[in-house]
A and B are shown apart, each in its own frame.
Chain A
């Protein structure tokens, strides 16, 4: 997994590539915690290059979303690929997280 962060207007775009699994979930959580600690709390997570997610990955998406909420922040998710979307839909995550077809659409919804 690789995470790249880029400022874009009022939000930070967090591009995640590779796999979000039991081996990489902690790294994602650390990276997001760091952003939140730096006050970067309006996040658009771009999953266009994320090929895979498991429950370990879902767990850290949920925990970071919960950390953002009391600070008035938000994470929006864009560009879910087929395998990731299937897991989101199966587990109900597509209705508890904010999902958007593109980074632009997420930006407009922020």
Chain B
């Protein structure tokens, strides 16, 4: 199979890091997940994961005004691979604290859940920086 953007490519979409573009990324993701044949519930959680990552970029990557974000989708046969790429400030999800899921209503801290949801929604999460870009790779095994 040869598609534009290399073997297994399901396509890519680029927009500026502004919240109003969230739905464009999510709609594109849903199309790619459908072409891959991902189950409905996993697709639903993945849609949430994309919001968490995109919102994080919108809030932190570009303090001087919104820059570009790209979502790449690839069908690698036994797995669906997504890459979210920004050109903003360095970021590493590994440094984000995990929420205390055992805490009750009183002691539960507000926030900290976004990256937790991302980790739960995928089989593998990998963040790295290359050529001035932050790249978050999400892998979902078939």
Contact = CB atoms under 8 A, between A and B. Distances in A.
Given A23-B19, A59-B111, A90 B104 contact: no
Contacts of B117: 54-55, 87, 90-91
Q: Report, as a range, how many residues of chain A touch the other chain.
A: 20 to 34
A82 B101 contact: no
Main SS at interface, chain A? helix
Interface in A51-85: 52-56, 58-59, 62-63, 65-66, 69, 82-83
Given A82-B41, A83-B41, A90-B120, A52 B48 contact: yes
A96 B47 contact: no
Contacts of A56: 51, 55
Interface string B84-113: 000000000000000101111110101101
A91 to B, nearest CB: 6
Nearest to A61: B110
B105 A65 contact: yes
A92 interface: yes
Interface residues of B, number: 27
A86 interface: yes
B44 A83 contact: yes
Residue among A52, A55, A62 with max Cβ neighbours from chain B (10 Å): A55
Nearest 5 A/B pairs, CB to CB: A92-B101, A55-B113, A83-B44, A55-B114, A22-B55
Interface of A: 21-23, 52-56, 58-59, 62-63, 65-66, 69, 82-83, 86-87, 90-92, 96-97
Given A54-B48, A86-B41, 10 more contacts: A21-B22, A22-B19, A22-B22, A54-B114, A54-B117, A55-B113, A55-B117, A59-B113, A96-B105, A97-B105
